[in-house]
Amino acid sequence: MIIHTTMAHASFPVWCRRIAPWVLAILAVGAGTAVFAERYHWMLRTQAIAAEREETTQQTRAVLRLLESELQKFRLLPAVLGEYPDLRAALRSGRVDPALNDKLAVLKDKTGAGAIFALDRQGKTIAASNARLPESFVGHDYNFRPYYRLGWTKGGSEYFALGTVSHRPGLFLSRRIEDRDGPIGVIVVKVEFDAIERAWNDGQALSFVTDANGVLLLSSDPALHFRTLKAIAPARKAQIKAALQFGGAPLTPLGIAIAANGLTTLPDGSPATTASLPVPVAGWQLYHIEPLGEALKAARQRAEIATMLFAVLLSLTVATLGWASVRRRRAAEARARLEQEVALRTRDLAREMEARAVADQRYRQAREELAHANRLGTLGTISAGVAHEINQPVATIRTFAENAAAFLARAQPAQVATNLREIVAMTDRIGSITAQLRRYARRGVGTIGPLPLTQVIDGVRLLVGDRFRSARVRLDLPAPGATLMVQAGRVRLEQVLVNLLTNALEAVRDQPDRWVSVILTQQDGRVILDVRDSGTGVDPAIADQLFMPFTSTKSEGLGLGLHIARDIMVEFGGTLEHVTGDGHTLFRMTLNAV
């Protein structure tokens, strides 16, 4: 017994020494695999979230372009209808014209508007596109509606609400109509966004627009209409319900938690990523939410696969170098799967980029149409001055022709030749004036390239110079050298300058010291044009909204000139801004020098 016990204790260290390296190897492989799995999964998760954020941002821009193009299509409609003779006659007389109702119905169908209706001085509907339908607006009193009150008092408004008759939500675009004796009514165009919401709905992502109170106005999921991002104060909620803006909607919170970094928790607790952009309507914000569940699941699956491969490769490395071929084969398979995923994703991105390009083209086309309409409106205001410019050389031509006839009767050919040369010079001047008018009225082609700034200054001087002289307002224009080139398009750059100078002329008409100056400076490869006048400056109440559509200090103005001008300057790669603290009115244009 003593001998047996001694032999057992002697053999134990040998067994321990044999098994210990394998145990240590297994523990090392397990520990290394655990560390790799944790770090690699964290890396893949971070990459997946970053990719989804970028994708969400791109999708948000595409969604916003689609919404902006829809808004641009309808914003000019109230202004155009305000000039409709039949509508003005109906508002002045107060009598409903069935033919006018039919015309509004045809216009509604052709434009895709939700409804078009006219309100008289008391806010009562006298004509509507749905006059022949059971839910007709004719005879209804909308005096309590903010879109009527704002349209009547401020000249126009954009107000989203639930229809009290149709019970369909929409954006009400209103504009005051005036005649010689003052306001006679308000024209209202209701824009419904059903088609936009259907286009947003892709089955997974969620897109919605909120107002300044956080109420969901538009949504790819119609069931979420009039929910809120967060709880609204009881007093504010009572005001909204009193105005019947959303009918009897309870305005309950949506239950979505959006962090500052865009990471979002959905009502069911699942993760998502969110991007938001402002909509060109006061107080509106666009949100686009993409669920992260599938992306995180894919990252987790890839991490698990990679962890398994790592464990196998590490084990095979520890065991024998003979398994190197197996390791290379598995790595090649993993790369193939990754390349296939990249190829599929690349094709998806190509399709999305094509769709965004189409939306962007539609937006650019609508903006160019709006700019052309603005140029034609401005051309009407300067035509009288240009006519005066033409009358002077015409009168001179007649004088020289009469003198030439007298010299011819006296047989003085030298004097006749001199008079004829002067007549040719005057016809050349008339030709330059009419050519400038044709160029300014022509629809812009959107080309941008190197442009001599002196051509633009000469063209602007020809278009507005006589108006300033007739109004006895001093106009100081710079004289840039022929070598100073800027990156722009001539017709549209002239449009921006004519718009700013026309606004300045209107602003200084009642000033004792009337002057407008354009100051040219160059700095760091940029050309700066400051348009400054002797006016008292812009009213601080609207200074922050100068470049918003339909913002104007003139009762007859559309409020689109500065909005169009800034869009044109941005397309040139430059800027247009209102500079405060000058003591006068100062707008600054910045262009790239070539």
Domains in the chain with CATH codes: 63-297 (3.30.450.20), 379-592 (3.30.565.10)
pLDDT at residue 380, as a whole number: 57
Res 1 pLDDT > 70? no
CA–CA distances in Å: residue 123 to residues 178, 459, 464: 15, 46, 41
156-209 per-position pLDDT tens digit:
999 998 887 878 899 999 999 998 888 999 999 999 988 888 888 876 889 999
pLDDT at residue 128, as a whole number: 92
- Decide: residue 98, CB within 10 A, 0-12 exposed, 13-18 middle, 19+ buried: exposed
Res 555 pLDDT > 60? no
Confidence band, pLDDT 50/70/90 cuts, at residue 432: low
How far apart CA 337 and CA 326 sit, in angstroms, is 17
Higher pLDDT, 325 or 420: 420
Lowest mean pLDDT among 131-145, 273-287, 554-568: 554-568
Going by C-alpha positions, the residue among 14, 69, 75 that lies closest to residue 560 is 75
Res 215 pLDDT > 90? yes
pLDDT at residue 550, as a whole number: 62
Looking at 94-193, list the stretches that DSSP marks H as alpha helix, in order from N- to C-terminal side: 98-111, 146-154
Q: Over the chain, what is the mean pLDDT? A: 83
Higher pLDDT, 35 or 21: 35
Residue pointed to by tokens 């969620």: 206
Res 418 pLDDT > 80? yes
DSSP 425: H
- Is residue 385 within 8 Å of 505, Cβ to Cβ? no
Across 482-507, average pLDDT:
91
* Range of 16-30, 168-182, 296-310 with top mean pLDDT: 168-182
3-state secondary structure of 181: coil
Across 203-222, average pLDDT:
89
pLDDT at residue 523, as a whole number: 93
For residue 232, give the amino acid letter.
Answer: I
Res 371 pLDDT > 60? no
Confidence band, pLDDT 50/70/90 cuts, at residue 363: low
Share of the chain above pLDDT 70, in %: 84
DSSP 443: P
- Decide: residue 138, CB within 10 A, 0-12 exposed, 13-18 middle, 19+ buried: middle
pLDDT at residue 168, as a whole number: 87
Res 426 pLDDT > 50? yes
Across 534-561, average pLDDT:
71
Across 239-244, average pLDDT:
82
3-state secondary structure of 113: coil
Across 534-556, average pLDDT:
73
Res 522 pLDDT > 90? yes
How far apart CA 42 and CA 306 sit, in angstroms, is 13
**DSSP letters of 3-45?**
HHHHHHHHHHHHHHHHHHHHHHHHHHHHHHHHHHHHHHHHHHH
pLDDT at residue 442, as a whole number: 55
- Is residue 433 within 8 Å of 389, Cβ to Cβ? yes
pLDDT at residue 7, as a whole number: 46
Going by C-alpha positions, the residue among 502, 443, 442, 451 that lies closest to residue 473 is 502
